[in-house]
């Protein structure tokens, strides 16, 4: 760097002295043709202008101005070839020459600097435009990285590394120029390697929504780059960040769109299947119920009873699936009206008892008739699901209790059992969709993890509250509240 500075200094000084010598020779030449001293002054000022044009910095223009004054004094004032003057008025002339030369030099240098600055800004704008245009074409973050590596390498004449961090897949790739100089190479990195590369390079993090999406790594020597180049680099990094953000948002949008299409297809399929299943299942349940009333042979009664119970379980499963699709699509119709709690509980218990005749379900409700604003059909579904859940976790000899009580201007519905209870680790997830408690009774029919999640959705629609807890001794209690 020092060697380069010395070379530039020598070249600029050589230009300054050469132009002064040339001006002196030209002035001596035109003196023979009768030109006056004013013409010599113009020639020297012209040399100062040329010096300012072809050198860098104001100092060379000042040196050229001083040299021009001294040369004029030495060669063209009496006594010649000395730095003395016989006529003191020349001193004023010298000062005018010096001042005019310095001002001319300063103005010329300023104009040249302004032009160079405008040219640089124009070049930077064109460079940013080319890079921005290149970054609008890629079809993914890897493509953005490859284009960025090429653009930065061309711009600063160095090797560039782009580290791409995929937070979704927890993968990291390094994009770098290929050894052949054509295209780029990609390889997977581990966490230690990332830290090493970032530490050893002049690195810029690419942050999108407070998450690191990658790093642009340049040679450490560029850390000392000029201010205008630093501005250009910062602008390019900003464009790269915008491009990466655009690709991430586009990918998320496409993923969300695909997920929405899958959910719509799934909902339509479930709804169609459920509707098609409900009609024959209802017929099977009705036929089985009629056969139970007419059959006398105990063995046949046992077979038909199994058909009746399994069909009822399938109908409740179909109802849950239909309610699930309605909830997901926001089409769950809520018809709030005043309903008698006693009737809602009794119908729910009767429907479940038909399909689980061996389980004893105890009911406790207030002596006074209690009316609650609710959708009776949906609340019955909640109670049926909760009682079904209790049956899965109990044997016929274990207790199931359904109770209703008033609590602070709210009605509390409880379904309690003395069965296997709930694993404490599962309690926070008990109302999650498709979550299945693995430890229910072996004789119970398996579910698909919809019943409790649907219960919570229905209670939420009623602006109520639902919860679950283990009993002190044995079993579990599900409790939900509705406003009166």
Helix (H) and strand (E) counts in the chain: 11, 12
User: What's the alpha-carbon Rg for the chain, to the nearest Å?
Assistant: 45
CATH 1.10.40.50 at 334-483, yes or no: no
What are the residues whose beta carbons fall under 8 Å from the beta carbon of 48, sequence distance 6 or more? 61, 64, 65, 68, 101, 104, 105
- How far is Cα 349 from Cα 365, in angstroms, rounded to an integer? 13
For the chain, give the number of residues: 484
CA 344 to centroid of chain Cα atoms: 49
Task: Answer whether residue 380 shows pLDDT above 60.
Answer: yes
- How far is Cα 85 from Cα 268, in angstroms, rounded to an integer? 108
- How far is Cα 219 from Cα 252, in angstroms, rounded to an integer? 33
CATH class given for the domain over 251-332: mainly alpha
Task: Answer whether residue 438 shows pLDDT above 70.
Answer: no
Q: How confident is the model at residue 340 (pLDDT cuts 50, 70, 90)?
A: very high
Most confident of 31-45, 153-167, 213-227, 469-483: 469-483
Mean pLDDT value across the chain: 81
Q: What is the spatial order of strands in the sheet that 361-364 belongs to?
A: 361-364, 400-407, 410-417, 476-483, 465-470
Q: Residue 382 corresponds to which tokens in the numbers above?
A: 């909640």
479 or 72, which is more confident? 479
Task: Answer whether residue 439 shows pLDDT above 70.
Answer: no
Residue 400 is inside which H or E element, if any? strand 400-407
Task: Answer whether residue 321 shows pLDDT above 70.
Answer: yes
User: Quick one: CA torsion of 73, 75, 81, 83, rounded to 10 degrees?
Assistant: 10
Task: Answer whether residue 442 shows pLDDT above 70.
Answer: no
Strand partners, 482: 411
Q: Residue 140 corresponds to which tokens in the numbers above?
A: 């993914």
The closest of 219, 206, 223 to 141, measured between CA atoms, is 206
In the chain, % of residues over pLDDT 90? 14
Q: Strand runs (DSSP E) across 369-430, as ranges?
A: 371-374, 400-407, 410-417
Q: Strand runs (DSSP E) across 274-379, as ranges?
A: 337-340, 361-364, 371-374
Longest dimension (CA), the chain: 152
pTM assigned to the model: 0.47
DSSP for 154-206, written as a single string: HHHTS--EEEEEETTTTEEEEEEE-TTSSSEEEEE--HHHHHHHHHHSEEEEE
Task: Answer whether residue 394 shows pLDDT above 80.
Answer: yes
pLDDT reported for residue 417: 92
Q: Where are the CATH 1.10.287 domain residues in the chain?
A: 251-332
366 or 274, which is more confident? 366
Query: What angle in degrees, to the nearest 10, is found between the helix axes of 89-135 and 141-156?
Result: 160
Q: How confident is the model at residue 217 (pLDDT cuts 50, 70, 90)?
A: very high
The closest of 175, 152, 139 to 238, measured between CA atoms, is 152
pLDDT reported for residue 234: 86
- How far is Cα 47 from Cα 58, in angstroms, rounded to an integer? 14
Q: Residue 450 corresponds to which tokens in the numbers above?
A: 């919809």
- How far is Cα 215 from Cα 145, in angstroms, rounded to an integer? 10
Residues 42-54, mean pLDDT to the nearest whole number: 81
pLDDT reported for residue 405: 92
Q: How confident is the model at residue 158 (pLDDT cuts 50, 70, 90)?
A: confident
Residue 453, preceding peptide bond in cis (omega within 30° of 0) = no
Task: Answer whether residue 192 shows pLDDT above 60.
Answer: yes
The closest of 365, 394, 389, 372 to 449, measured between CA atoms, is 389
Q: Where are the CATH 3.30.565.10 domain residues in the chain?
A: 334-483
What are the residues whose beta carbons fall under 8 Å from the beta carbon of 75, sequence distance 6 or more? 24, 27, 28, 81
The closest of 129, 67, 132 to 102, measured between CA atoms, is 67
Q: Outline where 77-140 has alpha helix (H).
A: 89-135
Residue 257 is inside which H or E element, if any? helix 227-294
The closest of 426, 427, 410 to 467, measured between CA atoms, is 427
């Amino acid at each position: 760097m020092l060697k380069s500075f010395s070379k530039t200094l020598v070249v600029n000084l050589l230009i300054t002295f050469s132009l002064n010598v040339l001006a002196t020779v030209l002035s001596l030449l035109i003196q023979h043709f009768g030109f006056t001293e004013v013409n010599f002054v113009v020639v020297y000022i012209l040399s100062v202008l040329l010096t300012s044009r072809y050198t860098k910095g104001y100092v060379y223009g000042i040196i050229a101005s001083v040299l021009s004054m001294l040369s004029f004094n030495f060669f063209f004032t009496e006594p010649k070839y000395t730095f003395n003057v016989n006529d003191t008025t020349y001193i004023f002339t010298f000062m005018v020459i010096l001042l005019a030369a310095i001002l001319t030099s300063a103005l010329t240098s300023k104009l040249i600097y302004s032009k160079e600055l405008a040219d640089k800004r124009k070049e930077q704008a064109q460079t940013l435009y080319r890079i921005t245009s290149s970054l609008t074409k890629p079809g993914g973050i890897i493509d953005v990285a490859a284009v960025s590596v090429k653009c930065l390498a061309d711009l600063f004449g160095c090797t560039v590394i782009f580290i791409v961090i995929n937070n979704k897949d927890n993968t990291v790739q390094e994009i770098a120029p290929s050894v052949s100089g054509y295209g780029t190479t990609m390889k997977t990195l581990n966490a230690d390697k990332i830290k090493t590369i970032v530490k050893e390079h002049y690195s810029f993090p690419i942050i999108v929504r407070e998450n690191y999406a990658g790093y642009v790594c340049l040679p450490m020597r560029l850390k000392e780059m000029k201010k205008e180049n630093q501005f250009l680099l910062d602008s390019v990094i900003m464009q790269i960040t915008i491009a990466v953000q655009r690709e991430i948002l586009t990918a998320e949008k496409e993923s969300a769109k695909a997920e929405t299409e899958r959910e719509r297809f799934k909902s339509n399929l479930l709804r169609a299947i459920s509707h098609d299943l409900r009609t024959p299942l209802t017929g099977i349940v009705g036929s089985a119920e009629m056969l139970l009333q007419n059959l006398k042979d105990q063995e046949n009664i046992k077979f038909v009873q199994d058909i009746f119970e399994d069909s009822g379980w399938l109908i409740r499963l179909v109802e849950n699936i239909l309610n699930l699709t309605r909830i997901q699509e926001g089409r769950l119709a809520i018809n709030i009206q005043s309903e008698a709690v006693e009737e809602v509980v009794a119908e729910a218990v009767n429907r479940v008892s038909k399909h689980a005749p061996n389980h004893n379900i105890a009911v406790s409700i207030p002596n006074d008739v209690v009316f609650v604003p609710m959708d009776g059909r949906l609340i019955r579904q909640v109670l049926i699901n909760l009682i079904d859940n209790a049956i899965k976790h109990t044997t016929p000899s274990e207790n199931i209790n359904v109770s209703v009580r008033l609590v602070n201007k709210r009605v509390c519905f409880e379904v309690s059992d003395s069965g296997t209870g709930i694993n404490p680790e599962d309690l926070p997830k008990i109302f999650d969709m498709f979550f299945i408690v693995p430890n229910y009774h072996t004789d119970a029919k398996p579910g698909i993890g919809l019943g409790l999640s649907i219960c919570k959705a229905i209670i939420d629609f009623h602006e109520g509250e639902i919860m679950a807890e283990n009993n002190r001794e044995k079993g579990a209690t599900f409790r939900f509240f509705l406003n009166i």
